[in-house]
């Protein structure tokens, strides 16, 4: 969770430089992360006649898992690294990417997780 101080600093910086600010939410966030735990389910009728009684491996995180929080925290971090963002040294939930404005001015794109 990003700190209040990081939010205040980032919004102030954006206001001073006339940067756009956007907000988003990941619905069912934990369910997006791959799990490191081994969860299985015995398939019922809702899985189809061909699969009924078979054992299925659950590959995504479940709410309430012992390491669900850790697994979810690692997932967006790996996505941010893949997109080329760099982690802030001051706050582990603030990410930066070098960018240019339309007028050629150099700036940072910033994402607060």
Residue spans per domain, the chain: 4-112
Which strands, in side-by-side order, build the sheet including 94-100?
86-87, 94-100, 106-112
pLDDT in tens, 24-78: 887 766 677 788 888 889 999 999 999 999 999 888 777 777 787 788 888 888 8
Confidence of residue 2 (pLDDT cuts 50, 70, 90): confident
pTM: 0.68
**What percent of the chain stands above pLDDT 70?**
96
| Residue 61: how many other CB atoms lie within 10 Å | 25
Which of these, 94, 36, 86, 107, lies nearest to 65 by C-alpha position?
Answer: 36
User: Cβ contacts of residue 3 below 8 Å, gap of 6+?
Assistant: 91, 93
Residue 60, φ and ψ in degrees, nearest 5? -110, 160
Radius of gyration of the CA atoms of the chain, in A: 20
In whole angstroms, give the CA distance from residue 74 to residue 69: 9
């Amino acid at each position: 969770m990003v700190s209040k101080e990081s939010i205040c600093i980032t919004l102030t910086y954006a206001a001073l430089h006339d940067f756009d600010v956007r907000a988003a939410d990941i619905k069912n966030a934990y369910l997006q992360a791959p799990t490191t735990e081994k969860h299985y389910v015995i398939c019922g009728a809702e899985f189809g006649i061909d699969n009924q009684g078979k054992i299925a491996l659950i590959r995504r995180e479940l709410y309430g898992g012992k390491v669900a929080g850790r697994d979810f925290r690692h997932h967006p971090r790996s996505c941010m690294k893949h997109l080329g963002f760099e982690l802030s040294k001051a706050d582990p939930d603030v990410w930066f990417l070098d960018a240019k404005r339309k007028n050629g001015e150099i700036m940072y794109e910033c994402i607060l997780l």
